[in-house]
Amino acid sequence: LVAHSDFVLQGVSLKKGAYIHSPKYGGPLSSADLAALTLPLDLVFHDALRDTCRICGHEYKYHYHDEVKWVQEQVEEKLVDEAMKARFQKASGLAQQKEVLQRNFGEKLRESQEKRQVLAAQLLSSIDKFQQLGMNRDFVKMLHTQRDLMVQHLEAYESGKGERNDELRNTLTEIDRKLKLVEESTRQGAVRRAQEAIRPKYWSAASDGSLVKRLDQTIDKDIRSALAEMLCTDHPEWLGQGRDVRQKEAYTKLCLVDAWRIENMDIYRRYDQEKRRIKGEIDTRSIVIDTPNIRPSLHASSVKLPGDLLEGANEVRVLHGTKPSHVIPIIYDGFNERVSGGPRSYFGQTLYFAEDAGKCDQYCTADCKEGPVEKSDANDAKMLHEMLYASSSEHPGEVFYMFVCLHVMGKFVRTKSKEPDAPNLDHPDYHVWANPQRREFACIPGLKPAVHYHSLIAEVGEDILRYREIVQSRAERVYPEYLIAYRRSM
C-alpha cells in the first residue's frame, strides 16, 4: 500500500509516497484493517527479489517518489559589508552619508559588471574552442541558453538604470555572431556526415574539390581495361552509319585513349536518393519488375567496375555519347532532360542512352588539341582541356567523348514505335506515354494509386532499325560515372 497524498494513520503522520508495509507500523495490515480503511492508498504489486530502488533501497518493482518541483527560496546577499558600514558611520552629515552610499553601491555595480564581462569573455572563448575542436553537436542549445541569460541581464540592467549598456550589447552581438557560425558549422557537419554515409568507398580520398579523377594507367589498369571493353561494338560494320551520325567518316573500331571517374557528390546524392525511392516503391507496392537484359558483353564489362549494382531496382550501366561542349555541363550539373532532344528526336524531350557504343558514337563530334571541330564550341574547349589534361601538350589529339552512366531503370515499359501514341509492347491496349508531349511515361496498369513507369526500352523493329535504346524522362535517375576519351580507327 502506497500513500498518494499526505494523511495520518494511527496517530502517525504519513507523507505522500510512504509505504504502509513497514515494521514501523506493525507489519502488513490485516484484511479487517484493510476493510476499515478509507484512506488515500494505492495497492501496488511488487516482487521483492526483482529489483532494488536506487533512491530508497526498497526491493519493490513498483513504488512512488515525489516529483522534483521548483520552489521559491529567498536568498540574502550582503550589499553592505563591514568596511562599507564603517565608512558610512564615519560620515558627517546626511550629504556625506549619501555620497558614501553612492560610492559603495557604484563599486558593487562595477564588480557585478566586471563579473558579467568575465563570464561573457569565457563564453566567447568556449565558443572559439568549440569551433577549433569541431565540438558543435548539441552545444547550440547551451549557447542559446547563455544568450537568453545575457538578454535577461541586459534588460534587468537597462530597466533598472534607465540607460544603455553598450558593453553588454556588444557582447550579445558577438554571441549572436558566434552562435550563427556554430549553427552553420553544425549544419555543414551534418551535411558532410550524410554525404560520407553514401559516398562510394572506391572514390578517391582527395578533398581538393576536384570533380574528376583521371584513371592511372597502372593503378587503375583493371578499370581502364573494363572501360575499353565497353567500346567494343557487336556490329563494327555499322559504325559511321545512320540518320543520327554527326560526323561521317570511315572507321571500324573505337579505341580507348583516356578515362576519368566523375566524383560529384551533389549529383550522386540526388541519384542515390531517387534510386532508393524507386526501390522502396517497388517493394512497398509489390511491383513485379522484369530484367532489362542489358547486352551481355556490356554487362560483363560493367560488373568488373567497382561498386555493386542494386538489382532490386534494375540498376544498370549504360552509355551516352555527346559532343565536347556538353561534357563540362554534364560533369558539373548532371544530365538535363529539359534541354535534351530536338525536332528529329524519336522520343521527345528525354534522355537517350544505349547498350552498344556504336549507337552512342553517332552523336559524338571530335575534340582536338586546338579545340573542337565545331567552331561554335571553341569557347568551351579551354575549360574542358584544363579540367581533363594537365597541360595542352598532354592533349592526345583528335578524340571523342562518351559517358558510362549508372541508370536506375526500375519498372520499364517497352515499345517499337516512335509515335506519341506508341503502344505498350507488353500491354497492347495501353500507351507508352502519359501525354502527347512525351514528358512522362504512362502509368503501370493495375496499380492504384497510380505509379508511372520508371524508364523506357525502345526495342529494334518497326521504327528502330539497328540499336536498342534506353530512354529516361528524369535526370535524377542517371549518374554520369565515367568519362571516356576514344579514337576512331580502322
For 242-274, what is each residue's pLDDT tens digit? 777 777 788 999 999 999 999 999 899 999 999
Please name every residue paired with 24 in a beta bridge, in sequence order, or none if there are none.
Answer: none
Q: What is the model's pLDDT at position 168?
A: 79
Give the separation between CA 400 and CA 374, rounded to whole angstroms: 13
Please calculate the CA angle 263-264-268 and round it to the nearest 5 degrees: 100
The three cell numbers locating residue 119: 563570464
User: For the segment 153-200, what is each residue's pLDDT rounded down to a tens digit?
Assistant: 788 878 877 778 788 788 888 878 877 877 777 676 666 667 677 889
Mean pLDDT of 437-458: 91
Model confidence, pTM: 0.63
Q: What is the model's pLDDT at position 391?
A: 64
Phi and psi (nearest 5°) for 381?
-65, -45
Question: What is the band of 480 on the pLDDT scale with cuts at 50, 70, 90?
Answer: very high
Identify the CA nearest to 293 among candidates 257, 274, 276, 318: 318
Q: What is the model's pLDDT at position 134?
A: 52
Q: What is the model's pLDDT at position 409?
A: 95
- Sign for the CA dihedral angle at 12, 18, 21, 24 comes to negative
Lowest-confidence segment of 38-42, 56-60, 254-258, 477-481 by average pLDDT: 56-60
Mean pLDDT of 408-431: 91
Q: What is the model's pLDDT at position 228?
A: 96
User: For the segment 319-339, what is each residue's pLDDT rounded down to a tens digit?
Assistant: 999 999 899 999 999 998 877
pLDDT above 90: residue 304:
yes
Mean pLDDT of 15-20: 63
Mean pLDDT of 29-51: 55
User: For the segment 144-155, what is each residue's pLDDT rounded down to a tens digit?
Assistant: 777 787 788 788
Residue pair 99/90 in contact (Cβ under 8 Å)? The answer is no
Residue 211 host element (H or E): none
Task: Tell me the pairing of strands 371-372 and 367-368.
Answer: antiparallel
- Average pLDDT over all residues of the chain: 80
Q: What is the model's pLDDT at position 46?
A: 46
DSSP 429: T
The three cell numbers locating residue 26: 506493525
Q: What is the model's pLDDT at position 272?
A: 94
Helices (H), 138-295: 139-161, 166-198, 221-230, 265-284
pLDDT above 70: residue 342:
no
Give the separation between CA 257 and CA 313, rounded to whole angstroms: 33
pLDDT above 70: residue 9:
no
Identify the CA nearest to 260 among candidates 352, 359, 208, 327: 327
Q: What is the model's pLDDT at position 484?
A: 97
Give the separation between CA 32 and CA 105, rounded to whole angstroms: 69
Give the separation between CA 78 and CA 427, rounded to whole angstroms: 91
- Sign for the CA dihedral angle at 59, 62, 66, 67 comes to positive
Q: What is the model's pLDDT at position 226?
A: 96
pLDDT above 70: residue 369:
yes
Helices (H), 26-138: 31-36, 82-90, 94-133
Phi and psi (nearest 5°) for 180?
-65, -40
pLDDT above 90: residue 37:
no
Give the separation between CA 340 and CA 351, rounded to whole angstroms: 6
Which of the two residues, 456 and 176, has the higher pLDDT score?
456
What are the start-end ranges of the E strands in 297-397?
Answer: 315-322, 351-354, 367-368, 371-372
Burial of 341 (0-12, 13-18, 19+ CB in 10 A): middle
Give the separation between CA 60 and CA 21, rounded to whole angstroms: 11
Helix axes 166-198, 265-284, angle to 10 degrees: 60
Residue pair 469/458 in contact (Cβ under 8 Å)? The answer is yes
User: For the segment 65-124, what is each residue's pLDDT rounded down to a tens digit?
Assistant: 444 455 567 767 677 778 888 888 888 888 888 888 888 888 777 777 777 777 766 766
Q: What is the model's pLDDT at position 490?
A: 84
Pick the most confident of 37-41, 198-202, 485-489.
485-489
pLDDT above 50: residue 62:
no
